[in-house]
Chains A and B, each alone.
Chain A
Amino acid sequence: MKNIKLMYSKMTCLLALVFLVTISCDRDLSEEAEFADFAKTSEIFIEAPIGLGTDFYFPFSGSKATAWSVDESEGYESQVSMRFDVPNADDPEGSYAGAIFRIDGSGRDLTGYDALTFWAKASQGVTIGELGFGTDFEENKYQTTIQNTSLSTSWTKYIIPIPDPSKLIEERGMFWYSAGTQETGGLGYTFWIDDLKFEKLGTLGTPVPSIGEDRTVQAFIGTNTVVGNRSVIFNLPSGVNQTVIPALSYFDWSSSDPSVVAVEDFGRIEMISNGMSVITATMAGVQATGAVTFEVLGEFESAPIPPARDPADVISIFSNAYNDVPVDYYNGYFAPFQTTQGQDDIFVNGDRVINYTDLNFVGIGTFVDVSPINANEMTHFHVDINVREAIQAGDFIRLQLINNVGGVETSGDITIDGSQFQSEEWISLDIPLADFNGLSVRNELGLIFFISDATISNIYVDNVYYYKE
């Protein structure tokens, strides 16, 4: 049988050749056209980078760009490995190490593998914040992450299971990492990675995907969101469970009522009409535990649109009306006293709105990796706040601005009494910067705090900016 098939295909070739010669002007796809085969190369780094092209290393913003190098005196069963020098937190060239390794060219077909594996050790016992693959700085469609990987001072093999290999038909994001000094008191260290490659292990347990605990989320027509708390647990050949954080696209999402809540590309979820719908998901045919019930309440009432202003008269922190300056975060999640959840996670017709829940205090940061705000030329601070609950006597929101965070700090605050808000209504606040008691300098503003001491726990926030009148 095999011989016959071979001969047949040879004849097809011959025929095809003849075809090519005679009707080569016809550019239509023939019936036998197949998709291009992408490289199935497994290795990423053994004694040198393999098949990555020339321009493949892209550091994260704020990280030390020179953290990665090839060390020719250390290696797992060799003399060569990848070396990562995580800088001290106060390194002027970058406060952490992090980057992606992206193929300079076409991606690889990884469907025949089930894990990314490597050997690693560190200059001291340390946990590496995030390691993974699938990050390409484009769609990051199949970003895959393991967190808090514990490295010792001796070479150990690590396994990052692929959540669903059948999805990875052309992947360029071969590896990514992010390592800081939160657990080493700001002091740098070195770790090495060697024999980084995709493998077909066959020894991974059946994946157990999850989209978190069952929960109900209230939302508005026209808003869209994504389901967080995604994970998939694999039992490793060692018997230890490894939790992997998979990108949305590894899941197949479904909505119990698509006329209420629709699932769009990449797992984005859009609120269509009033009602309830339950979102569930599968991964590689396995039902994920957990379900998210969306209760769609109607149209979202957007914050008032800010007036048009000369760009030179505005420094926008969070607004769709103006161009925002770079911001570190909209929620610093300050442990251990902060309870506040939420950040810029409501999307209404393309506009982003912050929803802080469980509010006691929360900060918007502009001092870690971005330039602090010089508001010397500005006269006012603006914010729109919509309180999502009944307002009671004693409720308040205190706004606090902090200058030169971590240096010679200066701060000023102003307390807005609850009586100035109305439940479920947008209230616009325009506060002269001079009214922030104690704010004697404002050339390096690094934090904007919203403080309620839990008197008010659920607010929408929009249009945060400084302006000159």
Chain B
Amino acid sequence: MMSKTIKYIIKGKTFLFMSFLLVTLFVISSCDTDETQTVATFTNLVMSDEFDTDGALDSELWNHEIGTGVNGWGNNELQYYTDRTENVKVENGYLLITANREDFNGSLYTSARITTQGLFEQAYGRFEARIKVPSGKGIWPAFWLLGNDCETNIWPQCGEIDIMEFLGDNPTTIFGSVHGPGYSAGQAVTKSYTLENDRYDTGFHVFGIEWSPESINYYVDDALYQTITPADVPGEWVFDSKFYIILNVAVGGNFPGAPNDETTFPQSMLVDYVRVYQQ
């Protein structure tokens, strides 16, 4: 544990430095963000899953969501989520969420969706994961946060922060978004980040946000590519309560469209770690 702590501190410092550098750049070049923005820095590791133990997920941290939800989880998604090892397991130091093409309970595809609902919920902080995404038309992996009161405070009022969404037929681009009242689904506040000389499905990348009362900063690796402040959302700012983490690989649905002949299965999202820091 000792060495781990040291490692994190060093990492934190590096990141702090990076943030200052990037933010300086951002301020100089940005035209739509308030120049008085402050940068939150989070160095205190409060949750991490390094996926170091092969087998099932840590049940004290993760829930499995099962089935097809309502209307394919609200997006006409085509997969049936299971907790079978064919769809979700920890192996060789990675979490694998795997989409398969198979007839299962009336669905054509299976996959998995895991959440920390009721097990780890937090307002503000740095949320990050190191992920290698699957690809192909119709494949839709995501790393995102949902307000922990969505069952009573109906979406989008409860808020959604998408740290990373990826469409498998656009291999060099990811999206970071927030959904809230008056700015949800197609009207979400969103920005994409495209790699110039790399793509997301051939290697690991760190996807993170730094979320404070004043702003949500979006990162890919060392690059800050988006800052969303209360002034940027065309409605109520609903990001001051506890949120929980979701990792999933959807297949088909309104956003990515259905898989085509070139989509191969199985398709696995590999997650090296999930870490959350506080101030």
Please determine whether A241 and B197 come into contact, CB atoms closer than 8 angstroms.
no
Please determine whether B135 and A235 come into contact, CB atoms closer than 8 angstroms.
yes
B136 proximity list for chain A (CB < 8 A): 235
How many residues of chain B have a CB within 8 Å of chain A?
A: 17
Q: Within the assembled complex, what's the spacing in Å between the Cα atoms of A116 and B202?
A: 20
A237 proximity list for chain B (CB < 8 A): 171-172, 199
Q: Within the assembled complex, what's the spacing in Å between the Cα atoms of A350 and B251?
A: 54
Write the nearest CB–CB distance from B116 to chain A, whole angstroms: 31
Please determine whether B171 and A205 come into contact, CB atoms closer than 8 angstroms.
yes
**B66 interface residue per 8 A CB criterion:** no
Please tell me which one of the listed residues A200, A206, A239 contacts residue B197 in the complex, with CB atoms under 8 A apart: A200
**B210 interface residue per 8 A CB criterion:** no
Look across to chain B and name the residue whose beta carbon is closest to the beta carbon of A236.
B171
How many residues of chain A have a CB within 8 Å of chain B?
A: 12
For the residues of B in contact with A, the DSSP-based class is loop
Annotate A234-256 by CB proximity to B: 1 below 8 A, 0 otherwise: 01010101000000000000000
Look across to chain A and name the residue whose beta carbon is closest to the beta carbon of B195.
A203
For the residues of A in contact with B, the DSSP-based class is loop
Q: Within the assembled complex, what's the spacing in Å between the Cα atoms of A410 and B262?
A: 48
**B137 interface residue per 8 A CB criterion:** yes
Annotate A160-203 by CB proximity to B: 1 below 8 A, 0 otherwise: 00000000000000000000000000000000000000001111
Q: Within the assembled complex, what's the spacing in Å between the Cα atoms of A281 and B264?
A: 21
B262 proximity list for chain A (CB < 8 A): 241
Among A200, A206, A239, A241, chain B packs the most CB atoms within 10 A around the CB of A239
Please tell me which one of the listed residues B169, B199, B264 contacts residue A203 in the complex, with CB atoms under 8 A apart: B199
Q: Within the assembled complex, what's the spacing in Å between the Cα atoms of A208 and B136?
A: 13
Q: Within the assembled complex, what's the spacing in Å between the Cα atoms of A281 and B62?
A: 41
Write the nearest CB–CB distance from B86 to chain A, whole angstroms: 21
**B168 interface residue per 8 A CB criterion:** yes
Q: Within the assembled complex, what's the spacing in Å between the Cα atoms of A203 and B202?
A: 9
Annotate B194-205 by CB proximity to A: 1 below 8 A, 0 otherwise: 011111011000
Write the nearest CB–CB distance from B167 to chain A, whole angstroms: 8
Knowing A235-B135, A239-B137 are in contact, say whether A201-B169 is a contact too (CB < 8 A).
no
Please tell me which one of the listed residues B135, B169, B170, B198 contacts residue A202 in the complex, with CB atoms under 8 A apart: B198
A206 proximity list for chain B (CB < 8 A): 201-202
A203 proximity list for chain B (CB < 8 A): 171-172, 195, 197-199
Work out how many contacts link A and B, with CB atoms closer than 8 A.
Answer: 37
A202 proximity list for chain B (CB < 8 A): 195-199
Please determine whether B198 and A239 come into contact, CB atoms closer than 8 angstroms.
no
A239 proximity list for chain B (CB < 8 A): 135, 137, 168-171
B197 proximity list for chain A (CB < 8 A): 200-203
Write the nearest CB–CB distance from B233 to chain A, whole angstroms: 30
Look across to chain B and name the residue whose beta carbon is closest to the beta carbon of A208.
B264
Please determine whether A235 and B198 come into contact, CB atoms closer than 8 angstroms.
no
Q: Within the assembled complex, what's the spacing in Å between the Cα atoms of A62 and B58?
A: 69
Q: Within the assembled complex, what's the spacing in Å between the Cα atoms of A206 and B201?
A: 8
Look across to chain B and name the residue whose beta carbon is closest to the beta carbon of A237.
B172
B169 proximity list for chain A (CB < 8 A): 239
Q: Within the assembled complex, what's the spacing in Å between the Cα atoms of A241 and B260?
A: 12
Q: Within the assembled complex, what's the spacing in Å between the Cα atoms of A22 and B170?
A: 63
A235 proximity list for chain B (CB < 8 A): 135-136, 171, 201
- CB within 8 Å of A: which of B130-148? 135-137
Q: List, sorted by A's number, 27 A–B pairs whose CB atoms are closer than 8 Å.
A: A202-B195, A202-B196, A202-B197, A202-B198, A203-B172, A203-B199, A204-B199, A204-B202, A205-B135, A205-B171, A205-B201, A205-B202, A206-B201, A206-B202, A208-B264, A235-B135, A235-B136, A235-B201, A237-B171, A237-B199, A239-B135, A239-B137, A239-B168, A239-B169, A239-B170, A239-B171, A241-B262
13 further A-B pairs in the complex, CB-CB below 8 A; given A202-B195, A205-B202, A239-B171: A200-B197, A204-B202, A205-B171, A205-B199, A205-B201, A206-B202, A208-B264, A235-B136, A235-B171, A237-B171, A237-B172, A239-B137, A239-B168
Query: A residues near B, CB below 8 A?
Result: 200-206, 208, 235, 237, 239, 241
Top 3 A-B residue pairs of the complex, sorted by shortest distance between their CB atoms: A239-B169, A202-B197, A202-B198
